[in-house]
């Protein structure tokens, strides 16, 4: 599962996923950064 957004919550442990990677993508200036979360179903 790869999710993009403004938080790092992801799908979550209760649904059987484990977090593998978190990436912060900076867009610069007055733009919000994007957080990318990579998870895998256990």
pLDDT in tens, 2-41: 999 998 888 888 999 999 999 999 999 899 999 999 999 9
Residue 37, domain extent: 2-41
Total-model pTM: 0.81
Domain count, the chain: 1
State the first-to-last Cα distance of the chain, in angstroms, to the nearest integer: 12
Question: What is the reported pLDDT for 9?
Answer: 87
pLDDT of residue 18: 95
- pLDDT for the residue numbered 12: 87
Tokens at 9, concatenated: 């919550």
- Say how far apart CA 28 and CA 39 lie, in whole Å: 26
């Amino acid at each position: 599962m790869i999710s993009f957004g403004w938080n790092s919550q992801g799908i979550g442990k209760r649904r059987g996923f484990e977090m593998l990677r978190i990436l912060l993508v900076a867009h610069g200036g007055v733009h919000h950064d994007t957080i990318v979360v990579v998870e895998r179903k256990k």
